[in-house]
Chain A
């Protein structure tokens, strides 16, 4: 796709999403099969087919609503929508993109704080050690969310069963991983 969005052809929102993800918003004919099969749609503020409709309006107000929505954070990328979509629209890829834009625009829904905190703690752990250090990540997550008492009852049992590693596995190429984190585009939102 050529980026021919000069003043004569200003880039529409759906055009921008097409550039970023390859997804053609107008392919959606609102059958609702995605919303019907989505495991999370009952908890979402906008079920997937409604997200598609809102994007089709090309209205910045609707776009803004989506960046502030819970929907984008509740989506677990289970790919059910794409699997059954008669138009083969890659909604999960669109959701990834909306999430990234939401963080970049600092518009994340306050209620999604825990979900985002978890993702960030997860990536933090990788950034520092190269691998996920589960115990460290959980502590980091608790610091971010203040959910100090969550799951404390389960930890001792996990420890006994050998499921909690007290010492992080630090890989030799730890620095290489940190470099990757430094080199990727838009890395601000993943580094904190």
Chain B
């Protein structure tokens, strides 16, 4: 069966699992039709030039069933609780109430609220680069809707667990911050040994003067496939601080599209990707400056070890009416081994002269002088190298403002880097 036939077949087979509450039936069918029309990206598709989509050629798109037994699998995956944060757990894309905070606590954090009608219309369009959002719409088994007008701290854990069958999970989040709201949202995608496909979607709308600190950590199993889409729209003077950390996944693709629609809207985006083995991590970011005096600041780092490949595309578009826009992009890649690959694409599309836009991109190896310095101080060669790799992404880590979360992310990162014990003692 070709891609379109598999989509139709799997969708028909999964109808009983797909509720209107998650995604209305009409929207599902429209998404399916559009995705069928777009098809799978080909080798010449510039938006997917560096992504590894081979797992999709044989994958089943049917949603994974609810695992019969969760406790033992989840015990090893759930991170320690963070003080003051409401916890919400999704397992294979469905809310797991037994492992989440109480319904009252979730409701207090705005989980399960009804979103304003303006939500869908405000989001950036789904372009060819964001086509996996359509896959999520077609197959999502649940949808976590969050709406808040006050100050909220929320942690959402999206757990993909291995099922009895070859199947996919579809976590779906929709976040709407009312004017003046202030939220810290920690979104983690964790997977243990699950090697299936996770197709995640997160849609965000920030009202006037709203602030969202959004941490997204992807730490799935090393042979999992992650197809992720984040679309966000910012109203006037909204401030979106977004951190993207990609540590896991055998083939991961994250598409991020942010509209700075209102005057004075600001985006600060930090991202780091670490890969080893033959893993391929691809991040494509598109920031659209549409309002006056908008600002975006991006800091992206990539460390490719062994035979891995990391790609980062960051495209900034300034429309003709977005005078006073200010955009900065910094992309840096580190290749530590023969066979590894880094691809960077910092792109600008500017349609007004009242703008300041700049970008810098570098790719290189570890600095031999720095390495010598550390070796001369008595560090083991491997530890010294790992420490320098750590230093390479330290400016991204340092922007995680919560000490407890930063420590958790640091530990997750050093675990992925190997030589964790030696590094832990130095950090």
Q: Determine if chain A interacts with chain B.
A: no
